[in-house]
Amino acid sequence: MKTSHRVLGAALAALTVAALTSCGSGSGAGSGAADGSVTLKFLVDNSQATVDTAKALADAFMKANPTIKIETETRPGGSEGDNIIKTRLSTGDMSDVFWYNSGSLLQALNPAQTLVDLTGDPVLQNVQKDFLPVVSQDGKVYGVPAGTAMGGGILYNRKVYEQLKLEVPKTWDAFMANNAKIKAAGIAPVIGTYKDTWTSQLFVLGDYYNVQAAVPTFAQDYTANKAKFATTPAATAGFQHLADVHAKGYMQEGFGSATNDQGMKLLVEGKGAHYPMLSAQLPPLVATMPQAATDVGFFGIPGTDAAKNGATIWEPAGIYIPKTTENLDAAKKFLAFVASPAGADAVNTAVPPAGPYRINGAKLPEDAIQAAKDLQVYVDEGRTAPALEFVSPVKGPSLEQITVAVGSGLTPPAEGAAQYDKDVEKQAKQLGLAGW
């Protein structure tokens, strides 16, 4: 997978690259029957969380709309899945509705030519306004949110915080002060799991809220090659965080060979206090480690100003309608259901939410994991920003190798930032972006 977004998505969803399978025929158009019933085909990726979410939505929708049948088919994740989506759109063989990334990866689908424009449509009436930019291009909206947002920041052990009488930090200095107290208590302050290299990126990627707060035009300028990580102090800070934590000896012994699964276990068991990570890593643990739901909380990566404290979120994927559908009314009816409180309720019965819904009126269940509840507060108070990959198509394939080197003390942070600036050039040129 060539981007941090795909790497993170693949790791969190544990995608398997399997042959395209189908629960029905792969034809692009649904079918209308003599009795007036309609069959919609719904293409989703094959991660378990996506499959479970899609089934819950389809089942609840069909129960409320007995004349519309939904047949779900799956595709691999990652670049193989991307290619399937692009091929089926270009050949006119796409399903009636399909699940795909929101954010910058959507631009590669050429939505103005391939997708149904939903701008101003009642389908969107419950969708939160600040989600719309990540399913839009040139001011036109093409999708509704699938599932929940997730936080990218610090997962922390609440029992450790309670034991040591610590408060959730709102500045980086306060975070480092907490780490000193945690280390003195004989607990690993920060968990590193660099064997799974993708996990090393969160101090950088999760810091984007602070970058945007300091430099509101960064995404736009970065995309136009007018701003760089290495020459923007707020953007270099994420690399500096990696170096600071390593220099102070705050990571556990063996961080270079530890895996993500091992890191999550250390966190839940309280052997490590903080883990820079995505909140979506928690729900799958609840079945085997129930305390993961209550003992682990979430806070955004702290910046320099407590008054501007916030969190970076990874927006949900989108569900879209291709222009080739022959069942547009039924497809829109399904999207309206997906983007409704009733749709969220249906998902809650099947998949523990990793964060807040981007649907007005949709509520987290009372037994939602604590990290999702913590993230909901940031959303409710308007203290969030989407990760950079949702607002800029400029990404490089080598960030995880660079962050491992910086976080291991092998590369100075300023040099790591400069290396990443160099890393993104090839992709930006391939995309034909102006200014590159």
pLDDT digits (tens, 9 = 90+) for 229-260: 999 999 999 999 999 999 999 999 999 999 99
Q: How many CB atoms lie within 10 A of CB 243?
A: 19
For range 93-104, the mean pLDDT: 95
Q: pLDDT tens-digit profile of 55-70?
A: 999 999 999 999 999 9
Residue pair 219/385 in contact by the 8 Å Cβ criterion: no
pLDDT of 5 > 80? The answer is no
- Taking the C-alpha atoms of residue 396 and residue 291, their distance in angstroms, rounded to an integer, is 37
- Taking the C-alpha atoms of residue 341 and residue 311, their distance in angstroms, rounded to an integer, is 24
HSE on the CB side for 319, CA within 13 Å?
30
Query: In this predicted structure, what is the pLDDT of residue 33?
Result: 61
Q: pLDDT tens-digit profile of 38-50?
A: 999 999 999 888 9
- Taking the C-alpha atoms of residue 166 and residue 201, their distance in angstroms, rounded to an integer, is 26
pLDDT of 220 > 80? The answer is yes
pLDDT band for position 191 (cuts 50, 70, 90)? very high
pLDDT of 77 > 80? The answer is yes
Query: In this predicted structure, what is the pLDDT of residue 47?
Result: 87
Q: pLDDT tens-digit profile of 261-307?
A: 999 999 999 999 999 999 999 998 998 999 999 999 999 999 999 99
pLDDT band for position 28 (cuts 50, 70, 90)? very low
pLDDT of 29 > 50? The answer is no
Lowest mean pLDDT among 17-21, 132-136, 321-325, 341-345: 17-21
For range 193-222, the mean pLDDT: 97
pLDDT of 7 > 60? The answer is no
For range 164-192, the mean pLDDT: 98
Q: pLDDT tens-digit profile of 380-417?
A: 899 999 999 999 989 888 999 999 999 999 999 999 99
Pairing mode, strands 38-45 and 97-100: parallel
pLDDT of 357 > 70? The answer is yes
* Residue 43 DSSP SS3: strand
Query: In this predicted structure, what is the pLDDT of residue 32?
Result: 55
For range 419-429, the mean pLDDT: 93
pLDDT of 35 > 50? The answer is yes
- Taking the C-alpha atoms of residue 32 and residue 47, their distance in angstroms, rounded to an integer, is 30
Q: pLDDT tens-digit profile of 319-356?
A: 999 999 999 999 999 999 999 999 999 999 988 899 99
Query: In this predicted structure, what is the pLDDT of residue 131?
Result: 92
* Domains delineated in the chain: 4-149+315-363 (3.40.190.10), 151-313+389-430 (3.40.190.10)
Which runs of consecutive H residues, i.e. helices, occur in 309-369? 328-338, 341-348
Share of the chain above pLDDT 90, in %: 83
Backbone angles phi, psi at 41, to 5 degrees: -100, 135
Inter-helix orientation angle 233-247/413-430, to 10°: 130
Token pair belonging to 245 = 């934590």
Query: In this predicted structure, what is the pLDDT of residue 74?
Result: 97
Query: In this predicted structure, what is the pLDDT of residue 329?
Result: 97
Residue pair 281/155 in contact by the 8 Å Cβ criterion: yes
pLDDT averaged over the chain?
A: 91
Residue pair 383/309 in contact by the 8 Å Cβ criterion: yes
Residue bearing tokens 């007005």 = 360
Angle at 12 (CA atoms; ends 10, 17), nearest 5 degrees = 30
The DSSP letter of residue 301 is: P
Among residues 134, 70, 145, the alpha carbon closest in space to that of 106 is found at 134
The DSSP letter of residue 254 is: T
C-alpha distances (whole Å) from 119 to each of 42, 111, 137, 140, 274 are: 21, 13, 11, 6, 42
What is the pTM assigned to this prediction? 0.84
- Taking the C-alpha atoms of residue 400 and residue 287, their distance in angstroms, rounded to an integer, is 30
- Taking the C-alpha atoms of residue 239 and residue 242, their distance in angstroms, rounded to an integer, is 5
Q: How many CB atoms lie within 10 A of CB 367?
A: 10
pLDDT of 109 > 50? The answer is yes
pLDDT of 30 > 80? The answer is no
